[in-house]
Chain A
Amino acid sequence: MPGWQALNLEIAQYGATVVTVALDINAEHARPWHELGQATHPSVVDTLHATNPLFGFTNIPMAVWINEDGVLVRPAEGASIERNPMRDMEIPEGLPEALDKMLHAVKDIPDDAEAYRAAIIDWAKNGASSPFALSADEVVERSQPRSDNEARATACFELGDYLRKTVSQDAAVSWWKEAHRLHPQNLTYKRQAWTLVTTAPGATENDLMQGPNDVYDSSLVAEVSGDGGFLQFIVRPQL
């Protein structure tokens, strides 16, 4: 979050702002990170994951760019702006297998951060004349595919969350499993579900490893340690 705050300060002079939106069903889970960021830009929370279908977010971080008139000039795409320090670390021998697999998967994530950050600054300066600002037709065309399955996954995820809040935690599970089956590339729906069952009771932070569990058919470790790694979930920016 400090990286986005720094970028916000840099682009404010051009009439641009960052808005960060936390996709968290419980705002309290995101609050410590929000406070750490000390954002001077709008920092909001989306407890219903409503922005997922409305903008096409399927993973984090992802971003869209919106011009002064409220029109998208770039669709949802991977939005890293800082090189992940874990990419450059030497992975020591003898780590637990799950952690070892996770670290290798992180190192394999393509690094578009520098180019993406530069593109944002170019657009902030030059607006519609920036080569990174797309036409309305291009924005729609470049947005991710949505078949009936993907739309149905959104309905299932929302239904599960509603039942979680109104009936019981367990009532969400079958619907969230169905959402995962229908839209396997939506990592946000998966990680939101996994973290609720792998975070220890009373923990002050969500479990980021999201390892094997007895509730869902898969786990983050299992999915990213396969052939597709994290890349299967990442929408790389076409700059």
Chain B
Amino acid sequence: MILTELRTTTREFAQATGWEPKPEGLCRGEICVPAPGALSADGSLDVAIAAARLGMPLVEDADHGVWSLGPATLSGKSLNTAVAADPELMNFDGSPFRLSSLRGKKVVLVAWSSY
């Protein structure tokens, strides 16, 4: 997740990371991690606090004034939960696509590339 300041909206954080801020903490699937102080009354999120709680590295490029937030390392595994992420992907005609549109079907998601 690319950031130009260390505060973002809960919606953007959830879309980018899959971790949804809730009253009980930062949640994904069946896992909720308490994150006191991360949520503000205006609905914004302190990224540094959330990153520390979830074990997400924050990498800064000071010359360009941007940060990049890496994925959670809570479980020490690439997956923290078996609940599938649902990123917004793109059809080749430019329209958006989400895996959740296929609920009710078994899905084999295959990564490939042109290189």
Contacts and interface: CB of A to CB of B under 8 A. Distances in A.
Interface stretch (A41-49, A92-100, A101-109, A222-230): A41-49
Interface residues of A, number: 92
Given A17-B106, A70-B86, A155 B115 contact: no
Contacts of B90: 27, 44-47
Residue from the set B83, B92, B103 with the largest chain A CB neighbour count within 10 Å:
B92
Interface in B71-114: 71-73, 75-87, 89-92, 97, 99-100, 102-114
Q: Could you tell me the dominant secondary structure of chain B's interface residues? A: loop
Interface residues of B, number: 51
Interface string A163-186: 100110001000100000000000
B81 A136 contact: yes
A151 interface: yes
B59 interface: yes
B38 interface: no
A44 B112 CA distance: 10
Contacts of A237: none
A34 B2 contact: no
Interface stretch (A82-90, A141-149, A211-219): A141-149
A191 interface: yes
Given A29-B115, A31-B92, A53-B71, A159 B66 contact: yes
Given A70-B83, A148-B73, A188 B113 contact: yes
B107 A65 contact: yes
B70 interface: yes
Interface stretch (B6-14, B39-47, B50-58): B50-58
A140 B75 contact: yes
A69 B109 contact: no
Given A21-B89, A70-B84, A72-B82, A156 B68 contact: yes
A76 interface: yes
B107 A163 contact: no
A140 B92 contact: no
Contact of B105 (A17, A53, A141): A17
A197 to B, nearest CB: 11
Contacts of B85: 51, 54-55
Nearest to B86: A70
A30 B68 contact: no
A120 B107 CA distance: 10
A1 B75 CA distance: 34
Contacts of B108: 7, 11, 16-19, 63-66, 79, 120
Given A27-B92, A145-B77, A155-B69, A70 B99 contact: yes
23 contacts: A15-B104, A17-B102, A19-B102, A19-B107, A21-B110, A44-B90, A57-B111, A63-B108, A64-B84, A65-B108, A70-B99, A71-B82, A72-B83, A139-B82, A140-B77, A146-B73, A152-B70, A154-B71, A167-B64, A194-B115, A195-B115, A208-B115, A210-B115
Interface of A: 1, 4, 7, 11, 14-24, 27, 29-34, 42-47, 50-51, 53-57, 60-73, 75-76, 79, 120, 123-124, 127, 136-137, 139-141, 143-148, 150-156, 158-159, 162-163, 166-167, 171, 175, 188, 191-192, 194-195, 205-208, 210
